[in-house]
Amino acid sequence: MSGAALTERLQAALARRAALLREPRLEAVRWLNGVGDGVPGLLVDRLGDARFVHAEEGAPTAALVAALRDPAVVAASGQPSPRSIWVKPLLKNVRAHAKEELLPQLVFGETGEAGTAGERDGDAEPEFAVQEGSWRFLVRPREGYSHGLFLDQRDNRVRLAEWLRQRAARGGPPPTLLNTFAYTCSFSVVAAAAGARATSVDLSARYLDWGQRNFAANGLDAAAHEFARGDALTYLAIAAKKGRRFDALVLDPPTFSTSKQRGVFQVERHYDELAALAFAVAAPDALLLASHNQRTFTRDALVAKLHAAARTAGRRLTRLDPFTPPADFPGPPPENPASRGFWGVVGGG
């Protein structure tokens, strides 16, 4: 694809997102969503003053970086010219590359962005906050796995916060959220801001620390909430034995992980086990968010696993509504992770 054609498609993608781009308190938006915007192999996230590119091998990365600085594209975005552009290479044979080659690279500008939280003590990697509605989240463009905020879950964060806010307004004890595979705890942040008590479970102490920094960035007291380092399935089994119950559950596991407690977790193979353990700790009529990020794991297969898990746990799903992808994540469901999930209600118990 020529540079001119790429610039035109980027402008068209921005035009389709015009309403989002006008949101004054939204600094994190997917500007380009690969095949959904007619540019396979390339994704672009706006993160405040930075632009973050995900590029598959063979994609016209250099042309895209140039297009992001093109005055016509800058004008179409309604934002100032980027202060920095980062590129994360999506390489097929990762074992054939050094670790440094797999990390996002700064290809334009400087690491420090306007409004940055600065570099953390003892850590040379840049970190800065981006606004998403009422919340602020810390992102790290140099991070290997992800910059720290899954933009396709934006609408779900809003929905969860509103549900918990309404539940808290009824009075009584604060509602409770269990956020498994919590990563940087964005769901926990919005839950806490809505008046709920959040429990965040993740294998990584690094990510849980990041999550607590997200709490601090929003003026929330992390000490009033639970951060549990460990295997999510093990945590669920222990919580069930203790008779714990949660009003809302987030199940958004990675495609693959390993832990000392349980060994290998593969999302398509083990989702029903995860869900059955989660249903065992669900309060009556608990809200459920169930999603994943594996292309070959279809919606129908997820539905089947969720219902099977409910039967195993002696519960039932009284409602199951498929996600509607956000406006900045166009594309057919098989290619679009933003569509691979459901909101549900766990009955019984």
Kindly write down the DSSP assignment for every residue of 302-318, as one continuous string: HHHHHHHHHHHTT-EEE
pLDDT digits (tens, 9 = 90+) for 188-220: 999 999 999 999 999 999 999 999 999 999 999
pLDDT, mean of residues 91-98:
67
pLDDT digits (tens, 9 = 90+) for 167-183: 999 999 999 999 999 99
Tell me, what's the pLDDT at 124? 56
Neighbouring residues of 310: CB distance < 8 A, sequence distance ≥ 6: 275, 276, 279, 316, 317, 346
Give CA–CA dist 106/87, Å, rounded: 7
Neighbouring residues of 343: CB distance < 8 A, sequence distance ≥ 6: 156, 159, 287, 288, 289, 319, 320, 321, 323
Tell me, what's the pLDDT at 210? 98
3-139 to CATH, choices 3.40.50.1820, 3.40.50.2300, 3.60.15.10, 3.30.750.80: 3.30.750.80
Tell me, what's the pLDDT at 271? 95
Give CA–CA dist 52/22, Å, rounded: 20
Neighbours of 15 (CB within 10 A): 10
Tell me, what's the pLDDT at 348? 85
DSSP letter at 45 equals E
DSSP letter at 26 equals B
Neighbouring residues of 124: CB distance < 8 A, sequence distance ≥ 6: none
Tell me, what's the pLDDT at 85? 97
Q: Is the Cβ–Cβ distance between 128 and 111 less than 8 Å?
A: no
118 — pLDDT class (breaks 50, 70, 90): very low
151-347 to CATH, choices 3.30.43.10, 3.30.2290.10, 3.40.50.11540, 3.40.50.150: 3.40.50.150
Kindly write down the DSSP assignment for every residue of 94-146, as one continuous string: GGGS-HHHHS-EEEEE-SPPTTB--PPTT--S--EEEEETTEEEEE-TT-SS-
Of 315, 230, 319, which Cα lies nearest the Cα of 280? 315
Of 46, 65, 92, which Cα lies nearest the Cα of 3? 65
Neighbours of 13 (CB within 10 A): 22
93 — pLDDT class (breaks 50, 70, 90): low
Tell me whether residue 1 is exposed, middle or buried, using C-beta atoms within 10 angstroms of its C-beta: 0 to 12, 13 to 18, 19 or more: middle
Residue ranges of the chain that CATH labels 3.30.750.80: 3-139
Give CA–CA dist 319/22, Å, rounded: 34
Residue ranges of the chain that CATH labels 3.40.50.150: 151-347
DSSP letter at 204 equals -
Q: Is the Cβ–Cβ distance between 124 and 206 less than 8 Å?
A: no
